[in-house]
A and B are shown apart, each in its own frame.
Chain A
Amino acid sequence: MRHLLRRLAFYLVALWAAVTLNFLIPRLAPGNPAQAMLFRLKGKASPQAIHAINILLGINTHDSLLAQYGQYLNNLLHGNLGVSITYLPTPVSQVIAQDLPWTLVLVGVTLVISFVVGTLLGALVAWRHGSKLDTILPPVFTFLSAIPYFWLALIFLYFFAFYYNWFPTYGGYDADTTVPGWSPDFLLSALQHAILPAITIIIGSIAGWILGMRNTMITTLSEDYVLMAEAKGLPERRIMLTYAARNAILPNITSFALSLGFVVSGALLTEIVFSYPGIGFALLQAVDNLDYPLMEGIFLLIVVAVLVANFLADLAYVVLDPRVRHERG
């Protein structure tokens, strides 16, 4: 329990650090790029909106840095992330709420598929350690994991969408024929648009699961209890899954919990390549339009997701590994 409390305290410190970074970066940036952005807003935005942006980015103010900091924190505590400049006058939180489900579904589903398939394959490869499978697969996946994943996305987009026309070339659904909702037409269209991004994410991420599981399991395979199980003449599959794999899976489960945090940010570039209407695409638009409030909001959201996932990983470790519980309990 004390261990978990200490971790919790650490995550609060990390969150504070991220918030403070978010506060300081626009104020310390040379040449005050936010000021230039604000000029374009004159006459377009309401005075309240401009005032909110001023507080967020620290422009046109005579308050001391400390007073600005207090105001900034107060706004954050009330869930006020400012107004998006791209989608004026929509609040940043609303833009994020609209884009988040797309990312969560796409990356969440691919993460689970990638984790399950990758871990099983990794266990199999480790079990056949030294066989043909083990000689061929790891180098192939090493190569795959070194590919810039947005480039893989570009190639898939080119060949399967532009060249063969098997898949749509951009977007999250067909906006001409369907409206977002629970209608089968829309769901089918969304699925059709999601397949290609999903495949590239899985190919780009599965290598890590396979290699991680393989390397841990090879170490467990040389443990005495596996030898014992074999000496008892237990069936091969049982030794592989319930003796070796079960004891080797802990690091992969931790990584899985950590990856949950990257569900929000893990596919930024993939989303950008496919113009997929998620958080990554919103971040690119924010960067292109100098939409600093939206940028800051998305960054904070990503940080919170990562911190929560880290805490989940800690929890998983305490629950699954009795050694951690007893050592630090």
Chain B
Amino acid sequence: MAVMEQPTPAVAGTLAGSARGIWRFVLANRKVTIGLAIIGFFVLLALLGPVIVHQDPAALSEDLLQPPSSAHWLGTTPSGQDVFAQVVVGARISILMGFIVGAVTTIISVVVGLVSGYLGGAIDELFSLVTNVFLVLPTLPLAIVLAAYIKYKGPLTIGIVLAVTGWSWGARVIRSQTLSMRNREFVAAARARGESTFRIVFFEIFPNEIALVAAELLGTVIYCILAEAGLEYLGFGDPNTVSWGTMFYFAQNGDALLLGAWWWFLPPGICIALLGAALALVNFGIDEIANPRLRREPRQKRSLLKAALGVPQTPQKTQEEAA
């Protein structure tokens, strides 16, 4: 997860700026470009899924347990369902869940972090205590215990469980950033103008933390997608909907390993890994933009500097000057 102490105004400006600004931001860093391309592909897949695949992913057929072929690109399950159709349609639930739950969770952490950091005093003490308690409670076991007690199995249960267990880290990061912001001049100026606390927190401070929030959002979405797949694999998902996680569940309970049906559980995992890696790439990209030390300087510049300094082994220390 990215922790950035000082998001430069330039980054916040680029992010919040016009469409052209956003485009420039996308192309500025190769990691961001590649990551966003992969994410875009999966989002398109989720949106256009039913257009590409006309088959019902749950429909049974006579082709039982077929390996991948031209008729069934990714083979079939023991009850004759088309795995490719399941992966495409399943993308919808998994991605939608990941982004919606991730967004809700991030909103919770942002609000708690901002309010706690800006107001200070007793409210901060209380919020921080609750945040820290949730931070040390182990998330997956807590999620499993919570889900085990809720009778209704499905996306709503998983969403609530993930939101409850996932917000604390972000709240802590946002709070410390807000703490360092609240005594800056522009905040003091807003206070002097007599602006309301609500306005100062959400319209003065929040836009300056947008890079941090974006990183937080990406990290949370990764967590949500992975944890959702894990919980569904354990059987907490709705068995009537098709998603990547429930595919694991059915593959596990249908003895996919024993039957040698690798095409059943391999594709959804690859999709999750690709999507997760893409989100992580974008996260690292933002990190590099905000923290120039992590950036790789061009070779030529470095050799020039080396020559100028007259030190033979100095690739690292000249980073700051070069960046």
Q: Which residues of A contact B (CB under 8 A)?
A: 10-11, 13-14, 17-18, 21-22, 25-26, 29-31, 33, 126-127, 129-130, 134-135, 138-139, 142-143, 145-148, 150-152, 154-155, 157-158, 162-163, 169, 215, 218-219, 221-223, 226-227, 230-231, 236, 261-262, 265, 268-269, 272, 283-284, 287-288, 290, 292, 295-296, 298-299, 302-303, 306-307, 310
Say which residue of B137, B151, B266, B314 sits within 8 Å of A303 (CB atoms).
Answer: B137
Tell me, yes or no, whether B233 is within 8 Å of chain A by CB. Answer: yes
Q: Which residues of B contact A (CB under 8 A)?
A: 129, 132-133, 136-138, 140-142, 144-146, 148-151, 222, 226, 229-230, 233-235, 248, 251-252, 257-258, 260, 262, 265-266, 268-269, 272-277, 279-281, 284, 293-294, 296-297, 299, 302, 311, 313-317, 319-320
Say which residue of B145, B266, B284 sits within 8 Å of A155 (CB atoms).
Answer: B266
B141 in contact with A129 (CB, 8 Å)? no
Q: List 21 A-B contacts (CB under 8 A).
A: A30-B150, A130-B302, A143-B277, A146-B274, A148-B276, A154-B269, A155-B262, A155-B269, A162-B258, A163-B260, A218-B293, A221-B319, A230-B311, A230-B314, A236-B313, A262-B138, A269-B230, A292-B148, A299-B145, A302-B138, A307-B136
Please, which residue of chain A has its CB at the minimum distance from the CB of B3? A215
Question: What secondary structure prevails in chain A residues at the interface with B?
Answer: helix
A129 in contact with B265 (CB, 8 Å)? no
Query: Across the interface, which residues of B come within 8 angstroms of A287, CB to CB?
Result: 144, 148, 234-235
Say which residue of A29, A135, A222, A284 sits within 8 Å of B316 (CB atoms).
Answer: A222
Say which residue of A269, A292, A306 sits within 8 Å of B233 (CB atoms).
Answer: A269
B311 in contact with A31 (CB, 8 Å)? no
Complex Cα spacing A311 to B40, Å = 43
Query: Across the interface, which residues of A come within 8 angstroms of B142, CB to CB?
Result: 21, 299
User: Nearest-CB distance from A294 to chain B (Å)?
Assistant: 11
User: Nearest-CB distance from B36 to chain A (Å)?
Assistant: 15
Complex Cα spacing A219 to B288, Å = 12
Complex Cα spacing A106 to B248, Å = 25
Query: Across the interface, which residues of B come within 8 angstroms of A18, CB to CB?
Result: 137
Query: Across the interface, which residues of B come within 8 angstroms of A310, CB to CB?
Result: 136
Known: A130-B299, A295-B148. A221 touches B317 (CB 8 A): yes
A230 in contact with B317 (CB, 8 Å)? yes
